[in-house]
Structure 1
Amino acid sequence: MEPVNLFDLAAQQSRWLAVRQSAVAGNVANVNTPGYGTVDVEPFEKVLDKSGVAMAATQAGHIGGRSTDAGFAIREEQRDASLLPSENSVVLENELLKAGDIRRQFELNTAIVKAFHRMLMLTSKS
């Protein structure tokens, strides 16, 4: 297994968050469009699966990790039976919750990058 570059992983997640934010913004913009189906980006876990980063048990007592089978692409969400008369599946409340989640994930990503940058700078001082 090759070493993990945390800055590359953070950059990947930032790009993923940007694509997800675009999908959510498109949903909000089309809230009144007849027949529009809600879209979202598939989970970030699949990006990690493709990058070769995997949890590994280094001791017998460690718990193994699992990930989803979803990929990194925009997909239409499952339509439920309670569609609006216009057959639009966008629920504005759900989209606002997703937008809040994206914001929290981006802030966490930024905080982690800042912390690792500070650690890197401390190790390079002489």
Structure 2
Amino acid sequence: MSGIYLFGLAARQADWLTNRQTVVAENVANADTPGFRAKDVKSFSETLETTRLQMAGTDRMHLAAAAGRAGGVEERAADRWDVTHSGNTVSLEQEMLKSGEIARDYALNTSITKAFHRMFLTTIRG
């Protein structure tokens, strides 16, 4: 099953979502820390472009995913709504919106993977 491109892509997105949720949680935890600069991660599409996922033909009738996984997710300074007088750039409202977006992306990722897995098992069972 490791040759199925969708499973590898879903796993990479889940890893990216985990890293993004960690960064959002760190931002929320430091919301009252003077001088703390909020962070975010590069978008998944930018991250995917740097991992160089390439399709490789093992047979002229088959395709397989290239081996290897993304090493890490690069952090960047987040776009901020406001900066407080203490120099802190964390906006709790913005972080909560990001958290909701991450939860929706996890749910979509899981749903697509489950559907593909059921379809895959159906084709195997005949």
TM-score by length of 2: 0.77
Match of residue 45 from structure 1: 45
Which 10-residue stretch deviates more, 44-53 or 26-35? 44-53
Match status 1:89 vs 2:93: no
Change in CA separation of 1:107 and 1:79 when aligned onto 2, cut-off 3 Å? closer
Q: Percent identity?
A: 44
One-letter code of the match for 2:45? E
Structure 2 unaligned spans of 5+: 56-72
For 2:24 and 2:33, the matched residues in 1 are separated by 15
Return the structure number with greater strand share: 2
Shift of 1:53: 5.3
Matched residue pairs, number? 107
Match of residue 75 from structure 1: 76
Shift of 1:79: 5.4
Deviation digits for residues 32-55 of structure 1 (CA, Å, limit 9, x no counterpart): 00000000011000232233359x
Contact 1:34 / 1:88 at 8 angstroms: preserved in 2? yes
Change in CA separation of 1:41 and 1:97 when aligned onto 2, cut-off 3 Å? same
The root-mean-square deviation of aligned C-alpha atoms, in Å, is 2.1
Structure 1 unaligned spans of 5+: 55-71
Shift of 1:75: 1.4
Match of residue 114 from structure 2: 114
Match of residue 8 from structure 2: 8
Shift of 1:78: 4.4
